[in-house]
Amino acid sequence: MTLIEFFDSASIENVIGALLCEPDHVILIGDKGKQMKKGIAVYQQLMHARGIQTRFHYLVVNKNNLQDIVTSLSHIVENHENCVFDLTGGEDLCLVATGVVMQRYQGQVQCHRFNLQNGVVYDCDADGQICRLKPMEISVEENILIYGGEVVEDEQKGLYTYPWEFDEEFVRDVRAMWSLCRENARLWNAQIGMFGIIAENGSFGDSLSVSVVRDEVAALLARKNIHFVCIPSLLHDLEKCGLIYDLTITGEGMSFTFKNQNVKRCLTVAGQVLELMIASRMLDLTDAKGQKIYNDVRVGVVVDWDAFDEDNAVRTINEIDIVAMRGVRPIFISCKNGNFDANETYKLNAVSERFGAKYAKKVLVTTELDKLGDKAEYLRSRMDDMKIRLLEDVDTMDDNELDRVLRSLWSN
C-alpha cells in the first residue's frame, strides 16, 4: 500500500495513517520541503521503534496551483499500486485535487479520514473498505517525538524524567500523603519545602536517614531568608502513616528515616504529592466498558524541545508536571499547590501548542487560588483567554467528585 498524506502543521496528522495502517510507503505532499524532510526523519524513527518498516518520501507542490497538485497526484497513482489518500490534514486545494484524482481514477484509489477527536475513521470513497489495523493510541514519549522533541530519561543529564512506578503500595502512600497535605497546604509546603532546601544542600545525601541540627539548619536557611520550620503534629502524622519512622524531636533538632526513596522524593518537593495524586487517579479511571480513560500518564516529564535539530545550539528544556494521553490526544497538566504567577499559564500554553497543536488540552490544577487575592482574578482571566481549563480547590473535593472531573479533561 502507498499512503498519500498531505503535510500539516499538526504533526500527528502526518503520521497517524502510517501508525494505524502500516503501509509499505508514505508520500508526504506539501509546499514546505525543509519541514517535511525534517519531519520524515522523526516519523521514520517512530515507525522503526514500533517495528514497522514503512518508507517515507516527500513531494513539494505549489499549494496555490490546483493543476500542479493534480498532476503530481496523478503521477503517484500511475506509478504506485494500491494508493490510499488520507484526508485528515492538508491545504484546501490539496483536498480539492484529491477529488479530481478520485474521479479521474475511479475505482483505482481509496480515500479515508481519521477523526482524532473521537477515534473514528471515515470511508471517504464509500467503497466500504477502511484502512485501520491498530488502535488509535500513542504513548507520551511517542507524542513528544512526533512533534520533534524528546522525553529526557538519562539521569546523567541532571534534569530528567523520574521513573515513577504506581504500584499498589506507592499509590496508598500517595493517598496518605495527600490526605495530610490537603488539611493545610500552606503548612505542608512550609515543612516539605524546608526538607527540600536541606536535601538540595546535600545534608541528606542518598541516605534515607535524616538528622537535623536546628542551629546549623537555621543558619543555612537564614542565608535564603527562610525560617526554620518544625511542625511536630505533621511529622507525627507522617510517622503514624508509616511514611517516616524512628522520629525524634527535641529542642536541638529532629531525626527520622524516610520509608523509601519514592517517599523521600515526595517529602522533599512541596508540590510533588499533588501531581502524583492527580496522576494516580487518572491511571485508575475506566469507562463503562472497563477500558482505561487515559492510555498513558506520566509525571514530571522533562522535554527537550529540539532534540533532532542539530543546527540549534541553544536547547530548550523544561519540565511538565503531568502529561496524559487519551488515544492520540495529549493533555498537559500544571499542578500548583500554593502560590504561582501568570508565567506558569504562559509556559503551559506554549508547551501544549508546541507538542499537541490543535489537539492538545491544557489544564491547571490548584488548591488555594482564592488565597492569592486580587491576583486570582487576573490568573483566571489569563487562563480563560488561553483556553486553559482551571480545576480549583481540588483539596476540598471528595474522591468521586475529583474522578468525575478528571474523566472529562480530554473532552471539555
Residue 62 CA to residue 69 CA, distance in Å, equals 7
Q: What is the pLDDT of residues 264-283, one digit of tens each?
A: 999 999 899 999 999 999 99
Q: What is the pLDDT of residues 199-229, one digit of tens each?
A: 877 666 678 998 888 888 888 888 888 888 8
Residue 260 CA to residue 208 CA, distance in Å, equals 7
Contacts of 202 (CB under 8 A, 6+ apart): none
SS3 48: helix
Sheet holding 2-6, edge to edge: 55-60, 25-30, 2-6, 83-86, 109-115, 120-123
Q: Provide mean pLDDT across the span 290-305.
A: 96
SS3 85: strand
Q: What is the pLDDT of residue 412?
A: 65
Contacts of 18 (CB under 8 A, 6+ apart): 3, 5, 26, 43, 47, 52, 54, 56
**Closest alpha carbon to 361 in 330, 394, 392, 316:** 330
Q: What is the pLDDT of residues 105-154, one digit of tens each?
A: 988 899 989 888 888 888 887 676 776 667 789 999 999 999 999 999 98
Q: Provide mean pLDDT across the span 331-358.
A: 94
User: Which of the 8 DSSP states describes residue 359?
Assistant: G
* pTM of the predicted model as reported, rounded to 2 decimal places: 0.93
155 pLDDT tier (thresholds 50, 70, 90): confident
Beta-bridge partner residues of 5: 28, 86
Q: Provide mean pLDDT across the span 375-396.
A: 94
SS3 112: strand
**Closest alpha carbon to 252 in 225, 220, 228, 227:** 228
Burial of 66 (0-12, 13-18, 19+ CB in 10 A): middle
Alpha carbon of residue 224 to chain centroid? 33
Cell numbers for 154, please give them.
538519562
Residue 133 CA to residue 387 CA, distance in Å, equals 34
Alpha carbon of residue 52 to chain centroid? 24
Contacts of 97 (CB under 8 A, 6+ apart): 66, 69, 70, 73
CA distances (Å), 312 to each of 41, 112, 119, 154, 209, in order? 16, 37, 35, 20, 43
**Closest alpha carbon to 210 in 191, 233, 185, 225:** 191
Q: What is the pLDDT of residues 40-90, one digit of tens each?
A: 999 999 999 999 999 999 999 999 999 999 999 999 999 998 999 999 988
